[in-house]
């Protein structure tokens, strides 16, 4: 065999090897399962983000559960879930170990939300001041007639212990006063809306993401809970929504959080009424 034939044979062998390698099937990505839990206010938003993420990464599946912001913080801190959700900022005690002062919780804001005061659509009251809201929920104002409405006993509806929405509401509205012990306690914003839709003299507070024609959102201090006024900070009951992990996120958890904060993820946030990028 001549040198030219030898060179041609070697070149053909290399080409065949390259073609064989290019045609070889790619190894499938190992399946990834993410566990997400916490704020019930954030649950629909997280389901939207998970849906958008898994459409782009078919090897990923995720389970989104509620349970309350306090539970989300605890489970994330103890690494019992991949991502916790909270509708209020973690406290200093939750973020750091009290003995070593070592950071044991990583968190970032993913959206803005407003807490809306809601009543039955037939309620004649057109708006409230923060002191009036405080007096209603502490039990000092007992009848709608006292604040310009039709006569009727006010039924106060609050959230369960461990709810981030309740903790933010009490911090921003109640101050040192307690919500009346006569308040009816509901396990989610959705449940609050459902109750008030069937009880004309009731009032409660919900995440803006749960507003619907079933209830009427009241302006507070003359400002309505609209996305524009939440984003500008004009609406007084505005709060961030958080994602949490027990340590700095890595791997697919980090990739999901980066997606949620990316322009594509923030567009998903903006599609859900009341939750702002």
What is the pLDDT at residue 93? Answer: 83
- Pairing status of strand 184-186 against strand 155-159: parallel
What contacts 102, CB < 8 A, 6 or more positions away?
A: 96
Rounded to the nearest 10 degrees, how much is the dihedral formed by the CA atoms of 153, 159, 161, 164?
-140
Q: What domains are there in the chain, each with its CATH number? A: 32-112+240-276 (3.40.190.10), 114-238 (3.40.190.10)
Q: What is the pTM of this model?
A: 0.81
The residues that bridge with 37 in the sheet, in sequence order, are: 65, 84
pLDDT per residue as tens digits for the range 185-226: 999 999 999 999 999 999 999 998 899 999 999 999 999 998
Cβ neighbourhood burial of 154 (10 Å; 0-12, 13-18, 19+) = buried
Q: In whole angstroms, give the CA distance from residue 97 to residue 108.
A: 19
Residue-wise pLDDT for 214-264, tens only, equals 999 999 999 999 888 988 889 999 999 999 999 899 999 999 999 999 999
pLDDT above 90: residue 100: no
* First-to-last C-alpha distance (Å) of the chain: 71
- Paired residues of 32 in beta bridges: 60
């Amino acid at each position: 065999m001549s040198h030219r034939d030898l060179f041609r044979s070697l070149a053909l062998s290399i080409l065949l090897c390259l073609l064989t390698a290019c045609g070889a099937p790619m190894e499938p990505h190992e399946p990834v399962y993410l566990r997400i839990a916490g704020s019930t206010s954030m649950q629909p938003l997280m389901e939207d983000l998970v849906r958008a993420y898994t459409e782009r990464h078919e090897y990923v599946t995720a389970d989104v559960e509620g349970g309350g912001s306090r539970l989300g913080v605890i489970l994330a801190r103890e690494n019992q879930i991949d991502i916790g959700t909270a509708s209020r900022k973690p406290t200093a005690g939750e973020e750091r170990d009290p003995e070593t002062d070592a950071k044991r919780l990583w968190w970032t804001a993913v959206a803005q939300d407003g807490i809306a005061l809601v009543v039955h659509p037939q309620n004649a009251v057109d708006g409230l001041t923060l002191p009036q809201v405080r007096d209603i929920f502490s039990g000092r104002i007992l009848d709608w007639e006292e604040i310009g409405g039709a006569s009727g006993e006010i039924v106060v509806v609050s959230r369960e212990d461990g709810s981030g929405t309740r903790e933010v509401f009490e911090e921003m509205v109640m101050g040192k006063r307690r919500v009346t012990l006569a308040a009816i306690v509901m396990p989610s914003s959705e449940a609050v809306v459902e109750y008030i839709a069937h009880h004309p003299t009731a009032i409660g507070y919900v995440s803006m993401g749960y507003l619907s024609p079933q209830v009427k959102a009241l302006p507070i201090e003359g400002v309505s809970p609209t996305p524009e006024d939440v984003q500008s900070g004009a609406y007084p009951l505005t709060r961030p929504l958080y994602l949490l992990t027990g340590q700095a996120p890595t791997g697919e958890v980090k990739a999901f959080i980066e997606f949620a904060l990316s322009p594509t993820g923030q567009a998903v946030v903006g599609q859900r009424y009341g939750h702002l990028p």
